[in-house]
Amino acid sequence: MRRRHFVIGLVLVAIATLLYLPLPASLRLKAAVRENIAPFQGAVSRVVQGFQDLVHGLTEAHRLREQLRGQEEELTALRFELRRWKGLAAEAEELRAQLGFQRSSPLRLVMCRVIARGDATGWWQTLRLDRGRESAIAPSMAVVTRDGLVGRVTTVSARSCDVLLVTDPNCRVSCRIPRTGGFGILEGTGVTLHGEGALEMLSPAGPCRLDFVSRDQRILEGYEVVTSGLGGVFPEGLLVGHVVRAGVDASGLYQQAEVRPAAPLDLLRYVFVVTGTEGGAR
- Of 202, 49, 191, which is closest to residue 114 (Cα–Cα)? 202
Answer whether 150's CB lies under 8 Å from 165's CB: yes
Give 196-225 as a DSSP string.
--TTSTTS-B--EEEEEEETTS---TT-EE
Contact between 40 and other proteins (CB under 8 A)? Answer: yes
Contact between 54 and other proteins (CB under 8 A)? Answer: no
Q: To the nearest whole angstrom, how small is the minimum distance from the Cβ of residue 40 to other proteins? A: 5
Q: How many residues bind other proteins (CB under 8 A)?
A: 26
Residues contacting 71, CB < 8 A, separation 6+:
none
Backbone angles phi, psi at 110, to 5 degrees: -115, 120
3-state secondary structure of 229: coil
Strands 208-214 and 161-165 come out as: unpaired
Contact between 90 and other proteins (CB under 8 A)? Answer: no
Contact between 1 and other proteins (CB under 8 A)? Answer: yes
8 or 77: CB nearest other proteins: 8
42 or 139: CB nearest other proteins: 42
Residue from 24, 46, 48, 228 touching other proteins (CB under 8 A): that is 48
34 or 215: CB nearest other proteins: 34
21 or 230: CB nearest other proteins: 21
Residue from 2, 19, 63, 216 touching other proteins (CB under 8 A): that is 19
Helices (H) and strands (E) in the chain, counts: 3, 13
Using the contact rule CB under 8 A, the part of the chain among 32-40, 63-71, 233-241, 245-253 near other proteins is: 32-40
Contact between 44 and other proteins (CB under 8 A)? Answer: yes
Give 1-63 as a DSSP string.
-HHHHHHHHHHHHHHHHHHT--HHHHHHHHHHHHHHHHHHHHHHHHHHHHHHHHHHHHHTHHH
Angle formed by the axes of helices 23-59 and 61-104, nearest 10° = 80
Contact between 71 and other proteins (CB under 8 A)? Answer: no
AA letter at 197: G
Q: To the nearest whole angstrom, how small is the minimum distance from the Cβ of residue 6 to other proteins? A: 9
Contact between 136 and other proteins (CB under 8 A)? Answer: no
Residue from 2, 24, 33, 63 touching other proteins (CB under 8 A): that is 33
Q: Could you give the CA distance from residue 262 to residue 145 in angstroms, rounded to a whole number?
A: 9
Q: How many residues does the chain have?
A: 282
Contact between 55 and other proteins (CB under 8 A)? Answer: no
Q: To the nearest whole angstrom, how small is the minimum distance from the Cβ of residue 26 to other proteins? A: 4
Contact between 56 and other proteins (CB under 8 A)? Answer: no
Contact between 7 and other proteins (CB under 8 A)? Answer: yes
- Of 139, 250, 156, 150, which is closest to residue 205 (Cα–Cα)? 150
Contact between 96 and other proteins (CB under 8 A)? Answer: no
Residues that bind other proteins (CB under 8 A): 1, 4, 7-8, 11-12, 14-21, 26, 29-30, 33-34, 37, 40-41, 43-45, 48
